[in-house]
Amino acid sequence: MGRRGMLAAGAGLGLGGAFGSPVLAQGARTLRVRFGADVSQLDPARIFQNENQSVASHIYSGLVQYDQATNAIVPDLAASHEVSADGTAWTFRLRPGVTWHKNFGALTSDDVKFSLDRVLDPATGSLYRGQLASVREVQAPDPMTVRIVLNEANSGFLHKLCAFNQGWIVSRRAVTEIGERYSMNPIGTGPFVFDRWTPGSDVRLTANPDYFAGASTLTDVVFRIVRDETAAAIALENRELDVFYALQSPDVIERLRRAGGVTVLDRPANNTVNLVLNTTVGPLRDVRVRRAMAHAMNRKALVDGFFRGTKFEATSVLTSTFQEFTEEDVPRYAFDPARARALLREAGAPNFRFEITTVGLNPFDRFPVALANDLQQVGIQATVRVLERGAYVQARSSGNVQSCVTAVVGPPDPDSPLVTLYHTRSHPPGLNTSRYDRADDLLAEAARAPDLVARKAAYARLLRQTMEDLPVIPLYADRLFIAHGPTVQGFVQNSLFTVNVSPVSLRGA
């Protein structure tokens, strides 16, 4: 995009069946999407985890958004934008006539200013405050104009305003009036309206007839929580589910590939899964210990054995889906237990207790056991602590863990995962659980870069440095598998590790 321009989802799952869902109205065009875990938080300032983000992507809009197929930045709430000659002032002209769900009034620039200021306010405790670190001020000079002033030019700034996490816009009136209940009573401007959440069962959204880009042909979307993948596969085969989101089991992936009438989609994701090490505690302060741990873990066997080739090996926290990705001169740590033992002896830490904290979701509650076994073979007394999602998020954001397993999921903007993992503004209660503090200058340099060549050079230096310092050990690069049934039309798989069914229609409906 130029400096100026137009931003040019029977086995007990049947309706009214064993899962306790109510029977929907006759003739309803309902799309049923499988989730493997429950939702918990739909406030963009505090949102976390793929299922939450998937639901939110149907409710909220941003100033701009990613095209689901190409990752190009395209229009959303802003009809056009312009950037000042020095690159520090971004002006957005809002679409006229956009209204909030449930009669909360018309969208204005004040809502945009409120949304961004709220993320920036330390009192909010937003996980994404660091993503807007370059913002000096958000202005609303008139109801349809938003001006964002930066501390310095940032060639990748438009990514921060895309409809994802901190880029989703909320209603000042709704957040203020609903108060503490807002996190599970969201109000947006998107194609679907939040209807209900039945904890442990499902989330239901209804089509927004007033959506500015045109109403969906669906009447509603139901996100059903089916934790067991085999049960979900049977339901998809029996046409009791329409979309199977986030396939993980190699056995189930292969089963559905052979199933009649089922389409299995496969796309590399903007996502690595990593072991974050708290560099401020005990032996983990010593880079030799962190490098020893990387040499001790057989990550290739994890990909080839545990995941049976459904994942990729990772050489850094970025994947090849990023145009700024490079492997040139980036340190790599081959599986070498002898080297690991030597480094531990050299560091004076041949035997210490180490705990891996992870979330109780497939596969994160299973594969760390193999890593702990590898570490035990070189003398580290490694154990695994599995927490339910809420406790895991609290433990990680507290910063009081030795380590945690985390997926780095997000948009095709390298600044997003790198700020999240490495910037000091993301220190707890943010997601820089390693408390790494040597990346700020390089991140700023990359943000200032005037073109892709300069950006790639800056990010290459950052990747080399972080893989030398190793506050985070990449475990594998992810692939997103999604399956859908024969009546689903127009489904587009994105690379954000979310599911967005807004373009979908049902054949014969």
Tokens describing residue 314: 């990772």
List of residues 6+ apart from 299 with CB closer than 8 A: 313, 314, 335, 474, 475, 476
9: pLDDT strictly greater than 60: no
Tokens 């069914």 identify what position? 501
What is the C-alpha to C-alpha distance for residues 36 and 224, in angstroms, rounded to an integer?
8
pLDDT band at 15 (very low <50, low <70, confident <90, very high): very low
Q: Render pLDDT for 282-303 as a digit per residue (tens, 0 to 9).
A: 999 999 999 999 999 999 999 9
φ and ψ at 506, to 5 degrees? -110, 125
Lowest mean pLDDT among 9-13, 110-114, 189-193, 461-465: 9-13
What Å distances lie between residue 283 and 21, 344, 402, 470, CA to CA? Answer: 51, 9, 10, 14
Angle at 109 between CA 104 and CA 112, to 5 degrees: 80
Confidence at residue 210, expressed as pLDDT on a 0 to 100 scale? 97
Locus of tokens 């909030």? 100
Query: What is the pTM assigned to this prediction?
Result: 0.81
DSSP 340-365: HHHHHHHTT-SS-EEEEEEESSTTTT
Q: Is residue 170 part of a domain?
A: no
Domain extent for 367: 269-479
Span 217-275, pLDDT tens digits: 999 999 999 999 999 999 999 999 999 998 999 999 999 999 999 999 999 888 899 99
For residue 156, tell me if it sits in a domain: no
In a domain, residue 410? The reply is yes
pLDDT given for residue 313 in this prediction: 94
Considering only CA atoms, which of 61, 22, 59, 14 is closest in space to residue 39?
59
187 within a domain of the structure (yes/no): no
What integer is the mean pLDDT of 101-123? 97
The pLDDT assigned to 28 comes to 66
- Give me the CATH number covering residue 451: 3.10.105.10
In a domain, residue 136? The reply is no
| Least confident interval from 14-18, 71-75, 288-292, 453-457 | 14-18
pLDDT at 14 over 80: no
Q: Which helix (H) or strand (E) holds 452?
A: helix 452-469
In a domain, 419, yes or no: yes
Do the domain assignments include residue 1?
no
Share of the chain above pLDDT 70, in %: 94
**Residue 470 Rama label (left phi>0; alpha psi -120 to 50; beta):** left
Q: What's the pLDDT at 410?
A: 74
pLDDT average, residue stretch 157-170: 95
In the block, tokens 């559905």 appear at 256
- State the Cα–Cα distance between residues 384 and 371, nearest whole angstrom: 9
Asked if the structure places residue 147 within a domain, the reply is no
pLDDT value, residue 24? 42
Counted domains in the chain: 1
Q: What mean pLDDT comes out for the span 395-423?
A: 90
